[in-house]
Amino acid sequence: MNWKAILAPYSQAVEELKVKLKGIRAQFEHESSHSPIEFITGRVKPIPSILEKAESRRIPLDRIEEELQDIAGVRVVCQFVDDIYTIVKMIRSREDLSIIEEKDYVTEKKESGYRSFHMIIEYPVETIHGVKKVVAEIQIRTLAMNFWATNEHSLNYKYKGRIPSEIKERLQRAAEAAFKLDEEMSSIKNEVQEAQRIFHRK
Ligand code: 0O2
C-alpha cells in the first residue's frame, strides 16, 4: 500500500483545520473577549497505530479509509466546560465541512472515566486530482479532561490496554476529581474571566 499517497490528504486536512480553528481563537483575542479555545493540536494517526486498530477491529486493509474515522485528528482544548459547547455550535454552523456524527462523552462519560466531545466530520480537500472528502475526528475537551486523558493514554500504552484494576480505580477517582475541578472552575468562571481581561489589557 502506498501509505504516503493515502495519508497525504489526511495530513492536508489536519493542517487546514488547525489553521481555521486557530483563526477562530485569534478573532476572539482581537475582540479581546474570552476565547473558548485554549490550544489546538492535530495529528495523522501513525501507520503502526492504524494497522493495530484495523487488526483489533478485524477491518480489512482495503476498508481502512471507510471504517477508521480518526486517521485525521484535531483536538481543541478549552478552559471551561461551556466553551466546549460554544465550539460545537460553531463547528455545526460552518459551511466548509459537514458533520457525520457527534459523540458527547462530556455528559455521558466512557466506562474508563474518559470525557470529551467528539465530532466526526467530512472535510473536502483539494488535490491535484480533484476534491477528496476526508473523514476527520475533532475532539473537544477541557484542560482538566485533557490532563486526565493524556495520562490514561500513557498508562494504556504502558500496560498494552490492560491497566491493573488498582490503577484503574485510581484513574476513575482522578476522572471524578477532574470533573469536580471543571465544575468548581465553571462556578467562578466570571471571576476568572474578569481577571484575565484585566491581565490582557496590561
Ligand atoms: P489515539 O492514540 O488517540 O489515536 P467506539 O467504537 O466509538 O467506542 P472509536 O471508534 O475508536 O470507539 O471512537 P471514539 O470512542 O470516538 O475514540 C476515538 C479516540 O478517542 C481514541 O483514539 C482516543 O484518542 C480517544 N478516546 C476514546 N476513549 C478513550 C479513553 O477511554 N481514554 C483515552 N485516553 N482516550 C480515549 P484511539 O485510536 O483509541 O487512540
Nearest protein CA to atom 3 of ligand 1, as residue: 153
Which residue has 471507510 as its cell numbers?
66
Q: Which atom of ligand 1 is least distant from the CA of 150?
A: 34
> What's the pLDDT tens digit per position in 112-153?
999 999 999 999 999 999 999 999 999 999 999 999 999 999
By C-alpha distance, which of 136, 152, 135, 161 is closest to 53? 161
Q: pTM of this prediction?
A: 0.94
User: 5-25, pLDDT tens digit by residue?
Assistant: 999 999 999 999 999 999 999
Query: Which of 51, 52, 114 for a ligand 1 pocket mutation test, highest count of atoms within 8 Å of Cβ?
Result: 114
Out of 55, 111, 126, 137, which one is annotated catalytic?
Answer: 137
Ligand 1, atom 23: closest residue by C-alpha: 153
Express each pLDDT in 60-99 by its tens digit.
999 999 999 999 999 999 999 999 999 999 999 999 999 9
Using CA positions, which residue lies closest to atom 8 of ligand 1? 110
Interior/surface letters 142-167, b for 16+ CB within 10 angstroms, e for the rest: bbbbbebbeebeeeeeeeeeebeeee
Decide whether any atom of ligand 1 lies within 6 Å of the 16 Cβ: no
57 lines ligand 1 (CB under 6 A): no
Q: Which ipTM did the prediction report?
A: 0.90
Q: CA nearest 22: which of 6, 42, 2? A: 42
Q: Is the dihedral of CA 187, 192, 194, 197 positive or negative?
A: negative
Grid cell digits, residue 201: 489589557
The yes-or-no answer on residue 137 being catalytic is: yes
Q: Does 153 contact ligand 1 (Cβ within 6 A)?
A: yes
Domains of the chain with bracketed CATH: 3-143 (3.30.460.10)
Ligand 1 and 103: CB distance under 6 A = yes
Confidence of residue 201 (pLDDT cuts 50, 70, 90): low
CB 45 within 8 A of CB 70: yes
Three-state secondary structure call for residue 77: strand
